[in-house]
Structure 1
Amino acid sequence: MVSNDKRIRIITGHYGSGKSEFSVNYVVQLRKETEDKVAIADLDVVNVYFRSRERKEELRAMGIHPIDSSIDAPSLDVPAVSGEVTAPMHDSSYQYVIDLGGDKVGAKVIARFKESLPENGYDFFFVVNANRERTQTAEEVIEYIDEIEAASGLKITGLINNTHMLKATTVEDVLKGQEVAKKVSEMRNIPIKYISCLEEVAEQLPEGLDGQILPIHLYMRADWMM
């Protein structure tokens, strides 16, 4: 159950990892599991495409409070962050998800709010897509994690295997990513928290894999996009 994670969940990952897609699916599942207030903040000021803020009306309709840039321009790359971001950090009645920019520049955004994070009260999840450059091997993933941790001042607490090829994703893709994530887990003592993939692929995965399987719906891509 995603509701068993720390109250504040920060989600990061390399460009193209599917970080924002996972973040939206995660917060939708969280809404189903808890009676608490639920909020998601889009702190990705680096990637102009596929931001969770672009689905804020859908999220509101589900009973999820979206927080985005202080500038109302969802299709623009604006380095501005609303002060509202800190409110759910201090309000324990909220379950909170933060969609963070996926490189060391984007990670610096959360460093600005580090003092507002409760000690031992957050999870920092790294999304692994072993089909993307710079995260195809355990060594590459660890190098990337090191950059994110140095820039943010926070430690990664969990891994998410989201290895995909969009709608062409196969079981073999997911299992390849699982092997990479498992090596990272063993080398850095970071648990694999989730395996994220399309529902039709999730149904074919073997039993006994590390991590909770979280089937996803493609909220962030139009049906015509492959």
Structure 2
Amino acid sequence: MINDRRIRVIVGHYGSGKTEFAVNYVVNLSKLNKKVALADLDIVNPYFRSREKESILQEYGIKVISSNVKGLNSDLPAVTGEVLGPLQDKSYDVVLDVGGDSVGARSLVRYTEYFTSEDYDMFLVINGNRGETTSVEGVLKHIDSIEAVCQVRVTGIINNTHLLRHTTVEDVLRGQELCLKVSRKRNIPIKYVCAIEPIINRLPKDIEGSLFPIKMFMREDWM
């Protein structure tokens, strides 16, 4: 994580686990004594928004930025200008949790001047069990649509193939094969392989990408 660029943009289809990854990522960053800001730019999907965990994240010293329309039940496509502060202040490590499709990616357009090649990464979270991203062609189409809108490139792939708490090692490895094919097609490295801890401890140690244990912040135990 420490070698990732200062601004991390997290995208992924609905159901990919994009927001869960983003929340876990900033918590891990904070444990490295980083000054961390998480901006919730998902103005499309009203479910599982990172801002819902603001109180928990603040306990880790993480600055959470979301809509200037307050209230968890507010569902308005509004983004606060406060996002610019951490983007401009290079003492911050910034994570942008973005709506995963081309519509959601439009929220990035106003910030692209800060996405210099040495200062940003855009990570695509892939769940190979989701209908739109079960094939190489589907993932490539997804990448193309996002890049066309925001005019910045995906720089890393996150294998987050899962079935929530029913995930098996075989699920993750099947997703890894998909991610490897996409990686080879587009020359985009696999950065992380995610899974809940009982599964991550059983994955091959030589798997491509860093193993990334996931704690379920976004889902209650009954979900």
Aligned-residue offset at 1:137: 1.0
Deviations 1:21-58 (A, max 9, x none): 0000011011111x331110000001111010000011
- How far has the Cα of 1:66 moved from its partner? 0.4
**SS of residue in 1 equivalent to 2:194:** strand
Say which SS state the counterpart of residue 47 (structure 2) adopts.
Answer: coil
Partner of 1:24: 23
Aligned-residue identity in percent: 52
- Supply the RMSD in Å over aligned alpha carbons: 0.9
Q: 2:142 — aligned with what?
A: 144
Unmatched 5+ stretches in structure 2: none
SS at 1:131 equivalent:
coil
- Alignment match, 1:157: 155
Offset of residue 116 of structure 1: 3.3
Pick aligned residue for 2:127 from 114, 126, 129 = 129
Aligned pairs, number: 223
Is 1:188 equivalent to 2:198 in the alignment? no
1:12 equivalent to 2:11? Answer: yes
Q: Distance in 2 between matches of 1:121 and 1:115?
A: 11
TM-score w.r.t. length of structure 2:
0.98
Report the residue type matching 1:38 in the other structure.
V
| Contact in 2 for aligned 1:70/1:81 (Cα 8 Å) | yes
CA contact (8 A) 1:195 1:213 kept: yes
Q: Which digits, 9 at most, give the CA deviation of each residue in 1:199-222, with x for residues without a partner?
A: 110001012111001001000001
The residue identity in structure 1 corresponding to 2:31 is: K
Corresponding residue number in structure 2 for 1:100: 98
Within 2, Cα distance between the matches of 1:17 and 1:149?
18
AA in 1 matched with 2:12: G
Matching residue within 158, 165, 168 for 1:167: 165
Quote the Cα distance in structure 2 between the aligned partners of 1:202 and 1:48. 29
Report the residue type matching 2:161 in the other structure. T
Q: Could you give the per-residue CA deviations for residues 150-187 of structure 1, whole angstroms, max 9, x where no partner exists?
A: 11111000000000000000000000100000000000
Q: How far apart are 1:119 and its partner, in Å?
A: 4.4
Residue pair 1:89, 1:118 contacting (<8 A) in 2 also: no
> Equivalent residue of 2:74, what SS?
coil
Q: Which of 83, 87, 90 is 2:88 aligned to?
A: 90
